[in-house]
Structure 1
Amino acid sequence: MTVQRPRVLAIAEAANPEWVSVPLVGWSLASALREVADVHIVTQVRNREAFLRAGLCEGRDFTAIDSEALARPLWALGQKLRMGEGKGWTTLQLINALSYPWFEHLVWKTFGADVRAGKYDIVHRITPLSPTLSSPIAAKCARAGVPFVLGPLNGGVPWPEGFDRERRREREWLSYLRSAYKALPGRRATLRHASAILAGSRHTLGEMPEALRGKCIYLPENAIDPARFSRAGAPGDGPMRAGFVGRLVPYKGPDMLIEAAVPMLRAGRLLLDLVGDGPMMADLRTQAEALGVSDAVTFHGWLPHQEVQNVLAGCHLFAFPSIREFGGGVVLEAMALGVPPLIVDYAGPGELVQAGRGYKVPIGSRESIISGFRRALEFLAEDRAALAQTGQTARDWVAQNFTWGRKAEQVLSVYQAVLSGAPMPAFFDAPATPATCAPWANPEATT
């Protein structure tokens, strides 16, 4: 069976056009799917006002499920257990594992009769992204004969060796026990009853049971809204300018970037733009002052999207030494502006950045990453034309593969495969070898 515009019930508990991270992914994908399918979005009531401000009509376009009786007190508990804003992500996921089944219970109470009556061709759970949270609706859809699509799923990338100090500073105590989620009730049933599983990273894909790999599709969850990131990079003359965007927290490595850049900063050959805020702000300012480079480092603080792209568009390079990124959406944003990324070859960014569209430093100890970034910055500063060409290649690749419109077309092809019984589509080739993205590591390389 082929359905040109399938009728889709899109479950996106976290979906909000005014927020960032997972809620923005949920909103962006669900909204993009409305262009290729007849989609009704189901979200949590906290997102209701943002949906209305975005122009959606309640009842026709979306339904807001009020699960606050359980979600609100558990969220408050989770915030206390995290011991710091933006920290203790695995603790928050544990809290979500307690509250999310109630949300799905209310979803099925509202839409179960319609699903059983065949009013939807597909039920698609978009968020939560976490692969640790089961979906009770999956089995109910299977009994109703309606395909259930799960994902994109992403998360749980292991902390790299040598960064236990950063792990503790992030309050990631439960991450030591994270693999226990595979034994949680409902996980295997959710995967078994799903008709298709979208894996947002190769790590998540690798965690799927071998017997289910045939219905798993590798599809990174992030994409770009061309309206939000519309400028083309146009850095000026003078010293090379490198930008960093992200929360100022230990695992994103802003302190490693400053330390790696010190020789060039002192020599007047490099300027750094740091966009973001967080608990490390005061320490980073102190670090820059103590190293005598504060005049060459600009701390922009938190900026809205439009202003972020204005800063990045003036950079020759996006320098991002984060050691634990699930998706790496900010890397795509830089690439969309034509600003080539320099990243650590690990997890999400390592999958996105390949030969010709960016540069990678191998994952390793803190010292080796700093040393690698220092060599890379020195090398890349010598050939602005090569940087510009790499940035253009990255920009073209994102425009072809990673807009939300393109993402919706990719998901639609998954829907069509599910409905017709065809094999699952494949969207991306295997990544290139890391060495192809580190020309400074080749002793014969010239600038």
Structure 2
Amino acid sequence: MKVLLIAPNIDSSDVGEAFVAFKWAQNLSERVELTVLAFQRAGRSRLEFQLPNARVISWPEPAWPQKHERLNAMLKPAWPIFAKHVRKWMGQALRNGAQFDIAHQLMPQAARYASPLRHFDVPYIIGPLGGALNTPDAFRDEAASAPLFTRLRALDQMRFRYDPWLRASYSGAACILGVAPYVRDVLRDVPLRRFEPVLELGIDDVAPKVARPQTPRVMRVLHVGRGVRTKGLRDTVRAIALLKDLPEVTLTSAGDGEEIEVCRAEAERLGIVDRVTFMGRVSREEVEQLYASHDLFCFPSFREAAGGVLYEAMRNGLPVITAERGGPAWIIDANSGFRVPVTTPETFAKDIAQGLAQMALDPETRCRLGAGARDKVAREGQWSGKADRLVDLYQSVLSGQKGEPLPL
């Protein structure tokens, strides 16, 4: 099968979307005849060396957006330049007789970018798309300090309804992939030919099993994530404070950002400074050590498209408490953890505390759910299997079959 894959950033040495795109491209290149179109960032290993089994076409990534990396990651200001490169290259290649069975716009993950693939007579797929989740009304006051560009997400729904280029990109696609089923509802104003939930995350393998102490009432809780309000660290701190009769339940936070100092002050106000450790930013090696040394992963992020840290915790055999919203609601099931309804900050913290208490008092359930989390991610999340299923999806799309949703 001849597959054309486009993504502005693909890089094995990067993080986030660029690294995820590399893992997809690497595994696909071992299964199909793959052509990759991407930017090449200065100072990074050449993409053709990173993907020796693929044909790689790249263009220099503009330097000016990289001066503000967070803004660059959120808004992709160089996307129009990349799309112009893709459109010009594809037009020339097809006029010269190149043939592709299917094209796939893998990234950006955010559902706000019109695709250059819509201009050509090649069946194409877009996604996995994510994002576009709003902040629940009850949490907006506490999340008001978010940067302006993150609040521009509020415009997405209007664009799905009225932007002709975006609508044409999605309605013309042979299939739209979403990181979780919620994306179909986000795109409800766009007539889609086909939608499939496909989690963009993956793992190479599971971590070695760790023998954790199964002592009732003693539980080390871990939260890993960027220090922003929506990641649920503040709610976890409040939940710990509610467990007054379980002082042996402690919390470790790994991550930095503006929310960390707010949570530190919250821990002081609630009188639990001795039960919460804020480590700030830590290395990848230290994060892996934290997963191995803790008993439960609490990540009640209420505006999470997917949640890579969930897969990290699961591959280390940790049971999970998360929010029943967005990607986490799809990733975590009854065999791997608890999902907490997103209501109001007060009720949310109480429900998290109830889940923590149940886990602390019942080590057997904690152990069973940790094993279930590890088995689930081993079964569904390994890159080799995900790539096999994506190729099956390509074939299904080309044959016009609807089929059942694939566990991608």
Q: By the TM > 0.5 criterion, same fold?
A: yes
Alignment-derived partner of residue 235 in structure 1: 212
- Structure 1 window deviating more from structure 2 (205-214 vs 239-248): it is 205-214
Q: Give the drift of 1:410.
A: 1.6
Matches within 5 A, 1:339-378: 339-378=318-357
Aligned to 1:401: 380
Residue identity opposite 2:399 in structure 1: S
Counterpart Cα distance in 1 of 2:262 and 2:2:
52
**Distance in 2, Cα, partners of 1:53 & 1:309:** 30
Within a 5 Å distance, the mapping from 1:44-443 to structure 2 comes to 44-46=39-41, 49-51=44-46, 55-57=50-52, 61-68=55-62, 72-73=63-64, 79=68, 92-93=74-75, 96=76, 99-116=78-95, 117-140=97-120, 142=121, 146-171=122-147, 172-182=150-160, 183-208=162-187, 212-226=191-205, 230-236=207-213, 239-264=218-243, 267-428=246-407
Q: Which segment is superposed worse, 37-46 or 287-296? A: 287-296
Structure 1 SS opposite 2:305: coil
Instruction: Report the CA distance between 1:347 and its aligned residue.
Output: 0.9
Whole-angstrom distance in 1 between the partners of 2:26 and 2:358: 42
Q: Which one is further off, 156-165 or 365-374?
A: 156-165
SS in 1 for 2:322: strand
Equivalent in the alignment of 2:4: 9
Distance 1:61 1:47 in 2: 20
- What is the CA RMSD across the aligned residues, in angstroms? 2.8
- Aligned letter for 1:133? Y
SS of the residue corresponding to residue 3 of structure 2 reads: strand
Please list every run of 5 or more consecutive structure 2 residues that lacks an aligned counterpart in the other structure.
Answer: none
> What amino acid sits opposite 2:146 in the alignment?
E
How far off its partner does 1:54 sit? Answer: 7.1
Which letter maps to 1:31? Answer: Q
Q: 2:202–2:311: 8 Å Cα contact kept in structure 1? A: yes
Name 1:444's counterpart in structure 2: none
* TM-score calculated relative to the size of structure 2: 0.89
Q: CA offset at residue 389 of structure 1?
A: 0.7
| Distance in 2 separating the partners of 1:266 and 1:294 | 16
CA 263–212 in structure 1, closer or farther in 2 if over 3 Å, else same? closer
238-247 vs 30-39, greater mean Cα deviation: 30-39
Distance 1:112 1:67, change over 3 A: farther
1:221 alignment partner, SS class: coil
Q: Is the 2:180–2:197 Cα contact (8 Å) retained in structure 1?
A: yes
Q: What displacement does 1:392 show?
A: 0.9
Superposed displacement of residue 233, structure 1: 4.1
Q: Identity percentage over the alignment?
A: 28
Which residue does 1:25 correspond to in 2?
20
Structure 2 distance, partners of 1:385, 1:26, is: 38
Is the alpha carbon distance of 1:214 and 1:261 closer, same or farther for their aligned partners in structure 2, counting shifts above 3 Å?
Answer: same
Q: Contact 2:135–2:303 (CA<8 Å) still a contact in 1?
A: yes
Offset at residue 103 of structure 1 (A): 0.7
- Aligned partner letter, 2:132: G
Classify the secondary structure of the residue corresponding to 1:16.
Answer: coil
Q: More displaced, 121-130 or 362-371?
A: 121-130
Aligned residue type for 1:18: S
- Aligned residues of 1:87 and 1:170 also touching (Cα < 8 A): no
Taking the aligned partners of 2:244 and 2:288, their CA distance within structure 1 comes to: 23
**Gaps spanning 5+ residues in structure 1: where?**
1-5, 80-84, 430-447
**Structure 1 CA distance, aligned partners of 2:372 and 2:49?**
33
SS in structure 2 of the partner of residue 186 of structure 1: helix
Task: Provide the secondary structure at the position in 2 that maps to 1:106.
Answer: helix
> What secondary structure is seen at the aligned counterpart in 1 of 2:361?
coil
Q: Tell me, yes or no, if structure 1 residue 38 matches structure 2 residue 14.
A: no
Contact map agreement 1:88 1:173 (CA 8 A) in 2: no
Distance 1:100 1:330 in 2: 27
Q: 1:304 to 1:425 in 2, by over 3 A?
A: farther
Cα displacement string for residues 361-382 of structure 1 (whole angstroms, at most 9, x for unaligned residues): 1110000111111111111111
Assess if the C-alpha contact under 8 Å between 1:7 and 1:39 holds in 2.
yes
CA–CA separation in structure 1 for the residues paired with 2:292 and 2:396: 39
Q: Secondary structure at the match of 2:98?
A: coil
